[in-house]
Amino acid sequence: MVVPLGSTASILKYIRPKSFPTPFCPGCGHGILMGAILRAIDELGLDMDSMLFVSGIGCGGWIPSPHFNADTLHVTHGRPVAFATGAVLFNPKLNVVVIGGDGDIASIGGNHLIHAARRNLDMTVICANNSIYGMTGGQVTPTTPLGAMTATTPKGNPEPPFDLSRLVAAAGASYVARYSVWHIRPLIKALQKALLHKGFAFVEVLSSCPTQFGRRNDLPTPARMLRHFKETCVPISRAKDMSPEELAGKTLIGEFVG
Partner 1 sequence: MQGDEACAEGAIAAGCNYYAGYPITPASEIMEHICRRFADLEGRVFIQMEDEIGSMASVIGAAWAGAKAMTATSGPGLSLMLENIGYALITETPCVVVDVQRAGPSTGQATRPAQGDVMQARWGAHGDYEIIVLAPWSVSEMYTETIRAFNLAERFRVPVILLSDEAVGHLRENFAVPPLTRVYHREKEVGSPPFGSSEVPPMPAFGEGARLLVTGSTHDEWGYRRTSDAHAQASLVERLVSKVRNHLDEVTAVERYLCNGELDVLLVSFGFTARSALGAAREAREAGRRVGLLRLRTLWPFPEDEVRQTAAGARYVLVAEMNRGQVLREVQRVAPNAVGYHKTDGEVITSDEILVAMGNLG
Residue 184's φ and ψ, nearest 5 degrees, are -75, -40
Min dist CB 114 to partner 1, Å, is 8
DSSP state of 194: H
CA distance 256 to 258: 7
Min dist CB 85 to partner 1, Å, is 4
> Between 79 and 216, whose beta carbon lies closer to partner 1?
79
* Binding span for partner 1 by CB under 8 A among 43-51, 137-145, 170-178, 193-201: 43-51
CA distance 251 to 88: 32
CA distance 173 to 60: 21
Reduced DSSP (H G I as helix, E B as strand, rest coil) percent helix, strand, coil of the chain, to 5: 40, 20, 40
> Parallel, antiparallel, or unpaired: how do β-strands 71-74 and 251-257 relate?
unpaired
If binding is defined by CB under 8 A, does position 48 make contact with partner 1? yes
Tell me the per-residue interface mask from 113 to 152 with partner 1, x by CB under 8 A, - otherwise: --x-------------------------------------
Min dist CB 116 to partner 1, Å, is 9
Q: Which of 76, 136, 152, 237 binds partner 1 (CB under 8 A)?
A: 76
CA distance 25 to 30: 9
> Between 108 and 169, whose beta carbon lies closer to partner 1?
108
Site for partner 1 in 10-29 (CB under 8 A): 16, 18
CA distance 157 to 27: 24
**Interface residues toward partner 1, by CB under 8 A:** 16, 18, 48-50, 52, 54, 65-66, 69-76, 79, 82-91, 93-94, 111-112, 115
